[in-house]
A and B are shown apart, each in its own frame.
Chain A
Amino acid sequence: MGDKTMSGCSNPEAFERLVSSVKTKLYKTGMAILKNDDDACDAIQETLISAYKYFDTLKEEKYFATWITRILINKCYDIIKKNQKVSYLNKQVEINENTAYYDEYKIDSRLENALNKIDSDLRTVTVLYYYDDFSVEEISDILNIPAGTVKSRLSRAREKLYNLLKEVGENIG
């Protein structure tokens, strides 16, 4: 990918391939922070535009997931800031129109509800660690918080999430 910067994406195929490999993770991360589908999609769209524009600045593909996740998190924070959101209610996932898809989603969104029950500071690191498979160091880089803080948050989340998921698992059967 050369030394070009900010001149767009010279290798759209590679971009598509890399994005495809992380798209579910991006969605989950967006949802973990923003907790609603519309905002998560907005953040993802902004992320894709930004990442596409600056894709050529990325030196190595192996850093793609970390890089784009970091962009996504910044976009999520932008949206939160823009919305001046003080979330009083645990919003449910908003899905409409496609009934079949909704039913399928609704079952698994119970897992997501378990995630939503843990504090917001723990939720993001939890998704990045358990779902996105980022290491503690990578999460530290992505969130710009000390690795120790990541570790302690993960530890705090573990007990709560374990109990919640166990409960959800039992209910789902």
Chain B
Amino acid sequence: MRILDDKEKDLFIKQELQKDNLISKKADDLFNDFFKEGVNMEEQEKIVRLNQKKKQPLPFRKRILSLVASLMIIFLAANGYAATKGYNNIFFAIKKIFTEEDVTATKEEILSDKDITISFKDIEIADGLSIQINSLVVENNNAKLYLSVTENGNFIFPQKYVVKDKTNEKLVLASQKTSRKNNSELYGTTYQEIIVLKGMKENTNVLSLEIFDNNDSSIVLMEIDIENKEINVLTGKSKGEVQKLSETELKEALGDYATLGIIGEPEDKENLIKFKKLMLATELIYMKENYSDSKFTKEKMLKVYQELTGETFSNSEDILGENSFLYYDKKDEEYKYSVDGMDGYTPYKVLTIMDLNYSNGIYIADIIFITPSEGDYIDNNLENLDQYEMEIKFKLNSSYEYTRYQIVNSDELKAKLYEKRETATINEMTNTVQNVISEEVTNTTEKIKKTKINIAKKVDLLNGMSFEIEKIEYKENNKATLYTRIIEAESVTQDKRIKNVDVSYEDPNLGATSVGNSINGSAKEFNYEIMLHEITDDTSKINISLKCEKGLIANLALDLEKIVLNITYFNDSLNISEEIKIEQDLKDTIARFILMNYYKDVDGNNSIEHKNEMMIYTAFLLDEDGMYRNFGSESRYTNIGESIVYSIIKGYTGINFDANTKCSHNIMTREENDGGMEASIKYISGTRYNLDANIKEIEKVENNGSEYTVTFTYSYNLKPNNTYRATMRLREYSFDPSNPIAKQYVLYQLVDTNIQSEKI
């Protein structure tokens, strides 16, 4: 079979993805409604109110009085000002202005038309406030600078923009107020500011832009090189050589370089640094080249490595090591990513450059940074992350292809904890991962613990109809789906068919809710799903009314606490009530786990995926066959140094595989961990190295309060003649009483990873 190259794969992916051109009915309706009605009335009103805020005109007499009063005030104030400048009164001062040429009064030049795109790159100028310097447009002798401002929960608002001509002795071209109407928060909004530049000259090449807040304090001062399309953000540190650096650009670069630093005390520091440098080198290639064309040739790797570190090597293959995430494909003569090791690089985020000094060609930056994962960005969790401090020394490459900044102390970079945040983070998760779960549940009031209640109860209604309540599946955001099935005999006439299913329920936290659903269609037997909103774990009763054209058919009251169904049937002449106790099927109860992979393999090597320090949230479903099957997982990357612990959550062992690729295939039988110590030990040891190990004998169990130290012997199926002795520490796990499955089968938990093992 022919192997596709990357471009062909791109084309294939594109074609496949674009096959799917559908959007949901709800979304389609949403667009159509919006086009039909425009913004809703509330929003329209807001806009109208905004426009109506303009001052109402005063009556004529009042306007005259107001004008006279204003002129008097201005005259007096102007006289006062003139006196301070050494004039008898304001008229002498005005005469002076008209008789002497001033820099702002020069005759404007005729400018040629131009439309120069400068940048579409965001420059963060305050927390949650970023700006793009988009373009400079000159048309009919009118010069305008187009800015794009994005606000994302900022507390500082731009109020005034001052633009000066740096090419021509800081001639002030504009001092313009924002077009923003008020100081309200415009979260997630991007708007445009157009700064009209007056008196710009044809030779103007460099502008300075200073933005002020409503206290007239400078938010940022930057220089815009129109010709070279470069923007330099100047700060208080902008002196001497340091002034040449763009803070924004430097922060980005240092965010990349900080990933080379070591957090914690790794065992194999040398290899770890090497790995990190290589990963960053490939990132730099990606930054420079077209994504589809990126090819990691030997020459390229050598070049970028040299620019990045100042180091070189004679044979690039040597430095990569075996089983690396990057391997050298001798046939194609390039380095390639191995599929399993492809994930993992997220640059660190530099919050502050605390100090930046320059001496003898070396810059020394003292930075504060955080190590966010993609999930942290999405969850807006940056404020909760531990902050680290690091000193990075670098110099500027005089000529370069991939990076301007060459790191000088790459092998010595060490991060120190600068500020630890109170909120539980992944960093703190060692052998007490289960605390994070409970904390999450208790702290997140909207989260529903329940996952599913199986009812599976079919109710025979009168007149040849049946209504089955299959199950309730709880979802996030206080939502649930009630799965029902309606069966109507052929003999049921149209006027007696179920036309409406009205559902009501009251939640002590969220109040009363009712959902009405009308049924259309001619099917006699069909599944009917009802979305329930505003529901929580405490919702105790769901009432369902089934109606036909003529009126009520039946009322059903589902008591979710007692799991009892009360039914009242109606027909023309009688009402019958019945209470049905429902035997809950617990087999489908979902148990939740967090699994974490560990960082040492059977040979004691640190391999890449282990270094990636991946954490996986996984949910398992206990199916009808008594097998735990993976029900879904989500991986999160984190940087927790070497603190990864091989953990068992709710009594189960973590599984030592690349969860991304293998977790979905995981099946764990309940027999494998039936709650007994022997079975637990067997399971722990059996999965410790992803080999099928057999417990030979439990030699000793020492009970130290809440912990057990267990010594046992085991062998691997592959090498049954070799026997090993191991010691591990276990403790009983405190069960979640609401989870009957966990209560029944989970007993022991591994306390730490320090399983002493020896061949005997």
Q: Which residues of A contact B (CB under 8 A)?
A: 3, 5-9, 12, 16, 19-20, 23-24, 27-28, 30, 33, 37-41, 44-45, 48-50, 52-54, 57-59, 66-67, 70-71, 74-75, 77-78, 80-81, 83-91, 93-99, 101, 104-105, 108-109, 111-112, 115, 119-122, 126-127, 130-131, 136-137, 140-141, 144, 146-152, 154-156, 158-162, 165-166, 168-169
Is B17 a contact partner of A130 (Cβ separation < 8 A)? yes
**A88 & B12 in contact (Cβ 8 Å cutoff):** no
Q: Which residues of B contact A127 (CB under 8 A)?
A: 17
Residue interface mask B561-574, A partner, CB < 8 A = 1: 00000000000000
Contact indicator A52/B16 (Cβ below 8 Å): no
B137 (CB) vs chain A CBs: closest residue: A59
Q: What 0/1 pattern do residues 23 to 56 of B give for CB contact below 8 A with A? A: 1111100110011001110010001001100000
Shortest distance from the beta carbon of B380 to any chain A beta carbon, whole Å: 5
For A16, the chain B residues whose CB sits under 8 A away are 35
B residues neighboring A (CB under 8 Å): 4, 6, 9-10, 12-14, 16-27, 30-31, 34-35, 38-40, 43, 47, 50-51, 120-122, 130, 132, 134, 146, 150, 152, 179-181, 187-194, 252, 282-284, 286-291, 294, 337, 339, 342-343, 345-347, 373-375, 378-380, 440, 444, 446-447, 475-477, 479, 481, 521, 526, 529, 531, 592, 617-619, 631-635, 660
CB pair B10–A150 under 8 Å, yes or no, is no
A-B residue pairs, 6 tightest by C-beta: A148-B287, A121-B374, A74-B188, A151-B286, A89-B632, A151-B291
Task: Give me 17 A-to-B residue pairs in the complex whose CB atoms sit less than 8 angstroms apart, sorted by A's number.
Answer: A3-B179, A5-B191, A6-B50, A6-B180, A24-B23, A40-B24, A59-B194, A66-B120, A70-B190, A81-B379, A89-B619, A95-B25, A98-B25, A120-B634, A126-B13, A156-B343, A165-B16
The docked-state distance in angstroms from the alpha carbon of A75 to that of B190 is: 12
Would you give the shortest CB distance from A67 to chain B, in whole angstroms? 6
Q: Kindly identify which residue among A93, A101, A168 contacts B16, using a CB–CB cutoff of 8 Å.
A: A168
Cα-based distance from A147 to B120 in the complex (angstroms):
12
Which residue on B lies nearest to A33, using beta carbons? Answer: B378
| Main SS at interface, chain B | mixed
Of B9, B22, B531, the residue contacting A162 (CB under 8 A) is B9
- Chain A, Cβ-Cβ closest to B26: A41
Nearest B residue to A66 via CB reads B120
List chain B residues, Cβ under 8 A from A90: 632-634
Give the number of residue pairs across the A-B interface with Cβ within 8 Å: 250
Identity of the chain A residue whose Cβ is nearest the Cβ of B286 in the assembled complex: A151
- Assess whether A40 is in contact with B27, with CB atoms less than 8 Å apart: yes
**Contact partners of B282 in chain A: CB under 8 A:** 152
Q: How far is the CA of A109 from the CA of B21 in the complex (A)?
A: 10
Closest Cβ neighbor of A148 among chain B residues = B287
Query: Which chain A positions have C-beta within 8 A of B122?
Result: 141, 144
Q: Which of A37, A49, A155, A161 is in CB contact (< 8 Å) with B24?
A: A37
Q: Is the CB of B20 within 8 A of A108?
A: yes
Min CB distance A170 to B, Å, is 11
Which chain A residues border B378 with CB–CB below 8 Å?
A: 33, 77, 80, 120
Do residues B34 and A48 form an inter-chain contact, with CB atoms below 8 A? Answer: yes
In the complex, residue of chain A having the shortest beta-carbon distance to the beta carbon of B191: A57
Rounded to whole angstroms, the CA-CA distance of A150 and B150 in the bound complex is 21
B16, B31, B252, B526: the one within 8 Å of A23 (CB): B31
